[in-house]
Amino acid sequence: MGLLDALEKGLYRGEDPDALAEGVVRQWHAGNIPGTLDEALGLTLDEDKAWGSFGARFRLLLEWRLRGWPSTCGVCGKPIGEEDWAVFRKDDGSQVRTHLSCWLSETDRRKAAEVARLSNADEDLVAKFFRQAGLVAVRFSKEQMRAGSTPDFSVLRNGSSVGFCEVKSFIPWEDFDTFEADDPTFDSLSDRIHKAVSQLDSVNPDLTQLSILAIVNHEDAVNWLDLRSVLTGDFISERAERYPIYVDVSQGRIRAEKWRIDLYLWFDQGKSRPFMLFNNSDELRFRRACDLMGVNPVEVRSVAAF
| Domain chopping of the chain, boundaries | 1-52, 133-305
Cα separation, 300 vs 306, whole angstroms:
12
Contacts of 15 (CB under 8 A, 6+ apart): none
| pTM (2 d.p.) | 0.73
> What is the per-residue pLDDT for 82?
76
Condensed to tens digits (0 to 9), the pLDDT of residues 207-259 reads 999 999 999 999 988 999 999 999 999 888 778 788 888 899 999 999 999 99
Condensed to tens digits (0 to 9), the pLDDT of residues 3-55 reads 999 999 999 988 999 999 999 999 999 999 999 999 999 999 999 999 999 99
**Is 29 exposed, middle or buried (CB count within 10 Å of its CB: 0-12, 13-18, 19+)?**
exposed
